[in-house]
């Protein structure tokens, strides 16, 4: 499976004075619930939204964020929106700042829902090139504030997000009920994690439907007790400040409950140096993302600080691991060109002499431009299989053999 990474956690440098919003007003008139269809692409939940009165966009549903954020302010200019306030944000590297602007009370309609007016944050420049990472047009994210006062029921199997009034919600009997913490409108869950033999630690993870990575863990300057003994240096993703450096390794186990335990999880470790950054991240140990969350029917009750989990058919299947060592990005007018944004050390891609900047032209007999994102992922998800690739390097076509294997120690 191709590893497409983009970390879009945004931290406020200055306070955003956004008006209190009540999510119940998005429900259709006289209805207590609504189903919102979504596309599940590259382990992202993508929904359709009408912005303004006649402009349609695609956004990520992101419980790891608070606000509605657009990655580029061009849409605001197209719609003639006025900006009320300038703010500063930090990306997932938590180092570089970027300027953003708030536009107040913009008409906003999630598919099948009522049109409402919401405050929206627009990044000044398109520094987060999300569609290049995901391989499909994406304009921004919808944070958890939008759904205030509602039950969020994520049905990954049917690609449906059900929203309902908390007052009308009946807790299901056949789900596992667990307490969560809500911090800045975002859900956190306590777990037990084992990163090294005989090293069990209590952890608190952000439940992040905006993350396409199974697990991210944060470390301090001295992370000898957290980082596994065996690890690889790797680019963890792209943020506002550029490429995020860190490590990739296997976590021995992640226990949500004894019956909900995952083993040998390929995990990204981000180690921070600044005391200021450590303060920002001290409320959590890391992030649990969609590859794990999608193994459940997941219901979040923000008001009562409760999550309900029911394993689905994917639960007993092993988590899919990257078998290539390639971080591939999409480019071109229709995002149908694919190139190696980076290559992880000691990976199959290194052994196959595939280098940063190489364009992937063919997989077997199939031109990549003819394949969907999911089709490319499937072709690169069979451990032990040898793929014959054609790559383009400095204008020359080269044939490569890529042996798929789990390379993470």
- Can you give the pTM of this predicted structure? 0.91
For residue range 311-340, list pLDDT tens digits in order: 999 999 989 888 999 988 888 888 888 999
The pLDDT of residue 53: 84
Most confidently modeled of 98-102, 224-228, 335-339, 405-409? 405-409
For residue 178, pLDDT over 50 is answered with yes
Distances (CA, A) of 84 to 8, 16, 103, 119, 263: 23, 11, 6, 10, 48
In this structure, the chain runs to a length of 409
For residue range 323-382, list pLDDT tens digits in order: 999 988 888 888 888 999 889 999 999 999 999 999 999 999 999 988 877 788 888 889
Q: Are strands 199-207 and 286-288 parallel, antiparallel or unpaired?
A: parallel
Q: Are strands 68-70 and 140-142 parallel, antiparallel or unpaired?
A: antiparallel
For residue 224, pLDDT over 70 is answered with no
HSE of 145, CA atoms in CB hemisphere, 13 A: 18
Please give the average per-residue pLDDT across 79-85, as a whole number: 91
Report which DSSP code applies to 335: S
Domains of the chain (ranges plus CATH)? 11-167 (2.40.70.10), 168-311 (2.40.70.10), 326-403 (2.30.42.10)
For residue range 276-291, list pLDDT tens digits in order: 455 555 567 899 999 9
The pLDDT of residue 147: 95
The pLDDT of residue 164: 96
The average confidence (pLDDT) of the chain is 86
């Amino acid at each position: 499976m191709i590893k497409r990474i983009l970390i879009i956690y945004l931290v406020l440098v200055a306070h955003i004075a956004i008006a209190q919003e009540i999510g119940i007003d998005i429900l259709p008139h006289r209805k207590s619930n609504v189903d919102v269809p979504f596309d599940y692409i590259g382990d992202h939940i993508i929904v359709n939204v009408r912005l303004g009165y006649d402009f349609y966009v695609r956004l990520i549903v992101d419980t790891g964020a608070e606000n509605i954020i657009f990655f580029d302010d061009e849409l605001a200019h197209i719609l003639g929106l006025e900006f009320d306030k300038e703010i500063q944000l930090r990306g997932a590297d938590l180092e570089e700042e970027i300027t953003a602007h708030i536009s107040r009370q913009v008409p906003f309609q999630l598919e099948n829902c009522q049109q409402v007016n919401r405050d929206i944050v627009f990044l000044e420049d398109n520094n987060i090139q999300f569609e290049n990472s995901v391989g499909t047009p994406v304009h921004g994210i919808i944070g958890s504030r939008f759904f205030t006062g509602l039950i969020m029921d994520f049905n990954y199997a049917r690609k449906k997000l059900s929203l309902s009034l908390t007052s009308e919600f009946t807790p299901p009997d056949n789900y596992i009920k667990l307490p969560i913490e809500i911090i800045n409108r975002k859900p956190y869950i306590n777990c037990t994690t084992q990163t090294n033999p005989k090293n069990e630690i209590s952890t608190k993870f952000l439940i992040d439907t905006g993350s396409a990575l199974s697990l991210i863990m944060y470390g301090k300057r001295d992370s000898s007790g957290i980082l596994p003994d065996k690890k690889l240096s790797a680019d963890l993703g792209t943020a506002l400040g550029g490429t995020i450096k860190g490590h990739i390794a296997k976590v021995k186990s992640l226990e949500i409950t004894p019956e909900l335990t995952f083993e040998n999880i390929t995990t990204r470790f981000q180690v921070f140096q600044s005391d200021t950054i450590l303060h920002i991240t001290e409320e959590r140990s890391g992030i649990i993302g969609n590859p794990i969350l999608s193994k459940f029917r997941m219901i979040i009750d923000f008001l009562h600080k409760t999550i309900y989990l029911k394993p689905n058919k994917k639960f007993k299947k092993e988590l899919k691991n990257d078998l290539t060592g390639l971080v591939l990005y999409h480019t071109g007018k229709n995002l149908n060109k694919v190139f190696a944004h980076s290559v992880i050390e000691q990976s199959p891609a290194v052994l196959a002499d595939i280098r940063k900047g190489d364009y992937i032209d063919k997989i077997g007999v199939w031109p990549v431009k003819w394949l969907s994102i999911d089709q490319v992922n499937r072709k690169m998800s069979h451990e032990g299989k040898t793929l014959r690739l054609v790559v383009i390097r400095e204008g020359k076509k080269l044939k490569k053999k890529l042996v798929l294997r789990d390379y993470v120690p």
